[in-house]
Amino acid sequence: MSSGRQRRRVVPDYMAAARVSVPEHITVERTTLVYVAPDVVADGLDPPASHLLTLLADGPLSVYECAAHLGLPYCVVRLLVAGLAAGGTLLTRDPPPADLPDLEILELVISGLRAL
Amino acid sequence: MAFARSDGRISADHVPVKLVIAGPFGVGKTTIVNALSEIEPLNTEEVLTQAGTLVDDLTGVNEKTTTTTAIDFGRLTLPGVVLYLFGAPGQTRFQVLWDELVRGALGVLVLADTRRIDDSFAVLDLVENAGIRYAVAVNHFPDSPQYPSDALRKALDLDPRTPLLVCDARDPVSARASLIALVEHIRELVLS
- CA B187 vs. chain centroid, Å, equals 19
pLDDT at A4 over 50: no
Taking an 8 Å cut-off on Cβ atoms, the answer to whether B75 and A55 are in contact is no
Is residue B4 situated within a structural domain?
no
* Nearest alpha-carbon partner for B123 in B49, B28, B18: B28
The DSSP symbol for B26 reads T
CA atoms within 13 A on the CB side of B52: 17
Is residue B3 situated within a structural domain?
no
Taking an 8 Å cut-off on Cβ atoms, the answer to whether B78 and A73 are in contact is no
pLDDT on residue B52: 47
CA atoms within 13 A on the CB side of B152: 23
Q: In 3-state terms, what secondary structure has residue B164?
A: strand
Taking an 8 Å cut-off on Cβ atoms, the answer to whether A59 and B11 are in contact is yes
Q: For the segment A25-52, what is each residue's pLDDT rounded down to a tens digit? A: 778 989 999 999 998 877 788 888 999 9
Q: Please state, in angstroms and as integers, the Cα–Cα distance from residue B185 to each residue in A116, B107, B132, B139, following that order.
A: 20, 10, 12, 19
Contact A84, A26 (CB under 8 A): no
Taking an 8 Å cut-off on Cβ atoms, the answer to whether A62 and B75 are in contact is yes
Selected for mutation to probe chain A from B6, B15, B67 (highest A CB count within 10 Å) is B15
Is residue B28 situated within a structural domain?
yes
Q: In 3-state terms, what secondary structure has residue B69?
A: strand
Per-residue pLDDT for chain B (192 aa), expressed as one digit of tens each?
445 455 557 888 899 999 999 998 888 898 999 999 999 877 666 665 554 444 544 444 445 455 556 688 999 999 999 999 999 877 777 787 888 888 889 999 999 999 888 888 989 998 998 899 999 999 988 888 888 999 999 999 999 999 999 999 999 999 999 999 999 999 999 998
Taking an 8 Å cut-off on Cβ atoms, the answer to whether B10 and A33 are in contact is yes
Residue A79: CATH number of its domain: 1.10.10.10
B54 reaches A (C-beta below 8 A): no
Residue B84: CATH number of its domain: 3.40.50.300
Is residue B96 situated within a structural domain?
yes
Nearest CA of chain A to the CA of B47: how many Å?
Answer: 8
Taking an 8 Å cut-off on Cβ atoms, the answer to whether A110 and B17 are in contact is no
Is residue B132 situated within a structural domain?
yes
- Helix B121-130 / helix B95-102 crossing angle, nearest 10 deg: 50
Tell me the residue range of the domain where A66 lies.
4-115
Nearest CA of chain B to the CA of A109: how many Å?
Answer: 7
Specify the number of domains making up chain B.
1
Selected for mutation to probe chain B from A29, A30, A79 (highest B CB count within 10 Å) is A30
Is residue B124 situated within a structural domain?
yes
Which residues in chain B have Cβ-Cβ distances shorter than 8 Å to A85?
none
Tell me the residue range of the domain where B177 lies.
15-191
Specify the number of domains making up chain A.
1
Is residue B143 situated within a structural domain?
yes
In angstroms, the CA B126 to CA B96 distance is: 11
**Between these two residues, B68 and A92, which has the higher pLDDT value?**
A92
| φ and ψ of A11, to 5 deg | -100, 130
* Nearest alpha-carbon partner for B15 in B78, B101, B80, B102: B80
Q: Which residue of B has its CA nearest to A61?
A: B10
CA atoms within 13 A on the CB side of A69: 23
Q: For the segment A38-88, what is each residue's pLDDT rounded down to a tens digit? A: 988 777 888 889 999 999 998 999 999 999 899 888 888 999 999 999 989
Assembly ipTM = 0.84
pLDDT on residue B75: 95
A17: left (phi over 0), alpha (psi -120 to 50) or beta: alpha
Selected for mutation to probe chain B from A111, A113, A114, A116 (highest B CB count within 10 Å) is A113
* Nearest alpha-carbon partner for A30 in B136, B25, B75: B75
In angstroms, the CA B88 to CA B82 distance is: 19
